[in-house]
Structure 1
Amino acid sequence: MADLDERQPLVADRADEKTESDIDEQEWNGCGPAILCDPRRWPHRFIVLIFTCFLNFGSYFCYDNPAALQTEIQQDMGVSYSKYLLLYSLYSWPNVILCFIGGILIDRKLGLRWGGIVFAGFVLLGQILFALGALFNSYLLMEIGRFVFGIGGESLCVAQNNYAVLWFKGKELNMVFGLQLSFARVGSTVNFNIMKPIYNAVASLVSPGYRVLGLSMMAGVGMCIFSFLCAIILAVLDKRAEVLTKRKKISLEEKITLSDVKKFPITIYMLFIICVAYYVAVFIFIGVGTVFFTTKYDFSDAQANAVDGIVYILSAAFSPIFGFFIDRFGKNVFWVIAAVVITLGSHSLLAFTFINPWIPMVIMGVGYSMLACALWPMVAFVLPEQQLGTAYGFMQAIQNLGLAVVAIVAGKILDEKGYLVLLVFFMACLCATLLSSVLLYIFDVARGGVLNLSAKARIKYEEKKKIQKEKEEEEKKKKLLPPNDNIQ
């Protein structure tokens, strides 16, 4: 679409006649303090960024509610360790499929705004059922709650990623993904730090038992209500921006179908492989790391928990920083390769040396933060906006499948071979990640080098693509005009 300045006549026919540009200027001026309410300016986008980061805060806070109160859940509800672990299985296994479906729903049916609200609603409803199950001593209701919570949790991540791309694609996208990761880890950390004190405070007011557990879980309900409100506010802000900036809506012909997934370029599938192979080596190791540190290094439980959790704490601090530098310099593929090499080094130190484990875990935290900022935005560099929900949903689905399967494999390795073989297995996963990253670079170069552009080159590339898209739209409009309208 041509700019309004290009369509505005040089001289108005009458002095009192208002042009389209004048009307638009009145719309902008009538919305309050311009610098805060103008979607084209950074202060307004900063407000959107805050709500985007908090969109998933409640979900990440509640995801590890069971881990924060594991002993209390088993004692108050009278369940075995296997039944307790079912609370996580009910979240993970369904999301092998559900977050992929959620991405399709965002792209094809609900749209981004309604998708965010609906999936935030599922998260809220799931946590309410989970808390009520504990409050009324119904473990079945708690399990149903975790399943419902899972329906919304991963799909809400897809919506959050889409908001990030829609509002910040360009100079700030890598930093925004880093900030999202940072807020997510802060949510997890806050959960582990406050749920036990909340439980103890409630226990001092109510007789011990399942009611204490249920009332304590209501803290998670409060966090989910906050995130649900963020989803509504984001939808309102995005709708307003769409109207004011005359953002082009996605037509039915442009919307993705399931058959389009098969047409994704090979670079997208390489990104999927990197995502799975890398995250299983980090997440699952952290999940079983406490016993490793107490066994190999003779740490106390408190020391083991501290060193095991340092990766997430560092990611909260480093992710925005790495995102800023990646936005400034570009070259995302090189950052991914560097992150994989760093993480591979940390696993090697843990497997074959007795160096203080804080050193390799800090190194792992740096590599993890670097990869997350560089990897996820690359999907938006390759695919058009109308396919991002499906692509991110597919990416999360494969990640969940990998985590679920490798968790079982890791358990068998631990039972039969021990931690050394498990670490070697994780190193093999990282070697596969490194190979995939190199292949990604080769395939990308063969396709024009879009993923590994410098920051300046990417700005020029995006501007060129935008101009080309506007020309194509103008050509389509001309073809749709009746024949008489083309005769001068």
Structure 2
Amino acid sequence: MMTETEKSPLLGSRTEDEEEEQLSGCGATIFCDPRRFLHRYLVLIVMCFLSFGSYFCYDNPAALQDNMLKDLDISESQFMSFYSWYSWPNVVLCFFGGFLIDKLLGVRLGSIVFSLFVTTGQIIFASGAMINNIYLMYFGRFVFGIGGESLAVAQNTYAVKWFKGRELNMVFGLQLSFSRVGSTVNMNVMQPVYKFIGKWYEGFKCLGMSLFVGAGTCVFSLICALTLAFFDKRNDRVLKKSASASDEVVRMGDVRYFPLTMWLICVICVAYYVAVFPFVGLGLVFFEMKYDYSPGLANNVNSIVYIISAVASPLFGFLIDKSGKNIFWVITGVLVTLGCHAMLAFTFINPYVAMSTMGLAYSVLASALWPMVSMVIPQHQLGTAYGIMQAVQNLGLAVISLVAGIIVDSKGYLILEVFFMAWLCMALIAAVFLYLVDATRGGKLNMSSKKRHQEAEALKEKEEKEEEKKPLN
């Protein structure tokens, strides 16, 4: 476990006396003083942009699906491999990334290292397109994937560290919102960028130059990682606390003692997300074929999920903070998404209706699901826990992305939609089972916010009394 302010003079070092002197000047303002809530929310903005570049570039293939199929002369199955090669490394490395954050690197250095992987991977991916080498592009997505999901683990760990007990659902919703902003900007910007660059380049060279533009957003997120590390180190120094929440040792074997509720949360995560992300990855051609939309209009419909979730996620997070009942919100999100896929599969209702509603449902589920991990896992193991959750999610995404591409090539989009609906039914069963298991253990995950606050206050009071009883050294 990293202790003593992560045992490193990362981004410079000052003594506590120097820091106290700074806080008597400009540093003592409500914007610079880490003890003030405005400072925390300014840091939250930087925290939210930490994965902006990763999410922007993750869906570069979806935004340029038509162009990639034509310029690279590849099949749908080969196209979906761009997503599989992103997910494969995270089946294992994402778990180890979370463990490394808890045990070795710490959240600050970890976020910088993983940001570097994201940036490097996108550059390799773009370079592969420039020379029309699909295997180099696969390798680029592999390197990009090494950093992408582990960076999300670091972001989640930062959120719990700074905001546990303080509107955590809203914070997770806001982080999701900014991530979806990255995906939304990508969906709506990459086609115009491709057309603009097409004035000077054509074919795969035009594609490669467009992907290099995406690499710029990764550099921006790397700068955010460096900035966040500076403020986090300063916060630990001023508040005189170690970067880790506990001095307990983190062991790999502790994973087998994680409660059943943690594993059920993972099942819901993978079963739900494989019905959303692979669908968006293939959605462009789906809307072109079924509704006879132009590529631009199809991209607009395909990105509406991300646009809606970008706006709705922090609002639903705030609502969940006020109401509690996380499991009920998760069940609602799964049911509504299931209805949206049924609408797209079996009706010709304007797809904006289904995709907008799916965006709302996705916002509800993500805002309610991810904070539940911090309710069942000790804080010193959160990096490992979130790493496992991301790893399981990416195992599902890697396999289902390949299967989805094969289904489209051989059976068509109707069978694909039925396939996604089956996964959502699995997520629904797991959510109901989670409710039953949690109810037998006190109903912690589905408590109202009022009761949850009362229990937190009682626990805090108990800890203070125990601290007073300890003998002074």
1:63 corresponds to which letter in structure 2?
Y
Is the CA contact 1:171–1:455 (under 8 Å) kept in the aligned structure 2? no
Deviations 1:242-270 (A, max 9, x none): 11112245488613212111111111111
Matches of 1:433 and 1:259, distance apart in 2: 27
Is the CA contact 1:308–1:361 (under 8 Å) kept in the aligned structure 2? yes
Matches of 1:395 and 1:318, distance apart in 2: 23
- 2:3 corresponding residue in structure 1: none
Matches of 2:274 and 2:118, distance apart in 1: 24
Change in CA separation of 1:468 and 1:120 when aligned onto 2, cut-off 3 Å: farther
1:94 to 89, 93, 101: 89
Aligned residues with identical type, % of pairs: 58
Greater shift in the superposed pair: 374-383 or 332-341: 332-341
- 1:312 corresponding residue in structure 2: 306
Is the CA contact 1:351–1:420 (under 8 Å) kept in the aligned structure 2? yes
Shift of 1:380: 0.9
1:383 corresponds to which letter in structure 2?
I
- 2:61 corresponding residue in structure 1: 66
Is the CA contact 2:340–2:355 (under 8 Å) kept in the aligned structure 1? yes
Alignment of 1:130-169 (within 5 A): 130-135=125-130, 139-169=134-164
Shift of 1:414: 4.6
Shift of 1:275: 0.8
2:364 pairs with 1:373: no
- 2:168 corresponding residue in structure 1: 173
Change in CA separation of 1:338 and 1:211 when aligned onto 2, cut-off 3 Å: closer
2:338 pairs with 1:347: no
Q: Which of 1 and 2 has higher RCO (CA within 8 Å, sep 6+)?
A: 2
2:375 pairs with 1:384: no
Matches of 1:145 and 1:216, distance apart in 2: 15
Shift of 1:322: 0.7
- 1:393 corresponding residue in structure 2: 387
Secondary structure of residue in 2 paired with 1:281: coil
Is the CA contact 1:171–1:459 (under 8 Å) kept in the aligned structure 2? no
- 2:315 corresponding residue in structure 1: 321
Matches of 1:350 and 1:73, distance apart in 2: 25
Q: Which ranges in structure 1 are unaligned for 5 or more consecutive residues?
A: 1-21
Shift of 1:296: 4.6
Matches of 2:299 and 2:215, distance apart in 1: 26
Matches of 1:296 and 1:70, distance apart in 2: 16
2:334 corresponds to which letter in structure 1?
V
Is the CA contact 2:187–2:303 (under 8 Å) kept in the aligned structure 1? no
- 1:448 corresponding residue in structure 2: 442
Alignment of 1:433-472 (within 5 A): 433-470=427-464
1:430 corresponds to which letter in structure 2?
L
2:150 corresponds to which letter in structure 1?
S
2:41 to 39, 46, 54: 46
Matches of 1:83 and 1:349, distance apart in 2: 28
- 2:239 corresponding residue in structure 1: 245
Shift of 1:123: 1.0
Matches of 1:325 and 1:459, distance apart in 2: 15
TM-score in terms of structure 2 length: 0.87
- 1:263 corresponding residue in structure 2: 257
Is the CA contact 2:305–2:358 (under 8 Å) kept in the aligned structure 1? yes
Shift of 1:295: 4.8
Aligned length: 458
1:391 corresponds to which letter in structure 2?
A
2:211 pairs with 1:220: no
Greater shift in the superposed pair: 435-444 or 114-123: 435-444
Change in CA separation of 1:68 and 1:359 when aligned onto 2, cut-off 3 Å: closer
Change in CA separation of 1:447 and 1:284 when aligned onto 2, cut-off 3 Å: same
Deviations 1:359-395 (A, max 9, x none): 2332222111111111111111121111111111111
Change in CA separation of 1:401 and 1:322 when aligned onto 2, cut-off 3 Å: same
Secondary structure of residue in 1 paired with 2:241: coil
Q: Which ranges in structure 2 are unaligned for 5 or more consecutive residues?
A: 1-16
- 1:122 corresponding residue in structure 2: 117
1:454 corresponds to which letter in structure 2?
S
1:407 corresponds to which letter in structure 2?
S
Shift of 1:110: 0.4
**Root-mean-square deviation (CA), in Å?**
3.0
Change in CA separation of 1:171 and 1:457 when aligned onto 2, cut-off 3 Å: farther
